[in-house]
A and B are shown apart, each in its own frame.
Chain A
Amino acid sequence: QLQLRESGPGLVKPSETLSLTCTVSGGSISGSNYYWGWIRQPPGKGLEWIGSIYDSGSAYYNPSLKSRVTISVDTSKNQFSLNLNSVTATDTALYYCAREPNAWGPGTLVTVSS
């Protein structure tokens, strides 16, 4: 059974870079023919798509975040990662990784605060 799990710091300082990794088990990113994505949800609010990557490395981003986001994939480790730079308090959210649209990780809360 496919499982995804997010990992990374739960607290990031303003202006710094938020870095998260999604580890996939029970299935392979390589050759999957799926997009692997990052989604976030501020406390008490809706879902916001951040971006997705294909196993080939082709990535697509939310235009509102594009200037600050990089998503990369490491098929040898069966992982993909999110970097979001120049963070502010508005980037505080639950961050989910997913094999879109059908499998989600449990999410990890990232708080931006000094």
Chain B
Amino acid sequence: ECVLTQSPGTLSLSPGDRATLSCRASQSVGYNYLAWLQQKPGQAPRLLISGASSRATGIPDRFSGSGSGTDFTLTISRLEPEDFAVYFCQQYGSFPFTFGPGTKVDLK
């Protein structure tokens, strides 16, 4: 099973700041099938990035994903007020699919 670890657990930032979130896998993610999801309170998760670096439809270009193999990064170039949320990574390259524990981006 591919175990995903996310860091930091919480990121306290201000609007306009740059956010860098990390997701590390215990083994190489097949086909780099790594997704980043955003979840706001009371809402279902929303896909931001698939295939490690492909932005989903309608996702602003301030969100970018990078990485391959076992190390992946989600970068939010300039935080907007609506970006304060929890971010999960998910690998869907091999079964069982797995999720990371999440990184909470909150207001400093």
Residues of A in contact with B (beta carbons under 8 Å apart)? 35, 37, 39, 46-49, 51-52, 60-63, 96, 100-107
Contacts and interface: CB of A to CB of B under 8 A. Distances in A.
Interface in B65-108: 88, 90, 92, 95-102
Given A49-B96, A52-B97, A101 B37 contact: yes
B44 A60 contact: no
Contacts of B56: 102
Contacts of B47: 101-104
Q: How large is the interface on B (under 10, 10 to 19, 20 to 34, 35 or more residues)?
A: 20 to 34
B8 interface: no
B99 A104 contact: no
Contact of A62 (B45, B96, B102): B96
Contacts of A105: 44
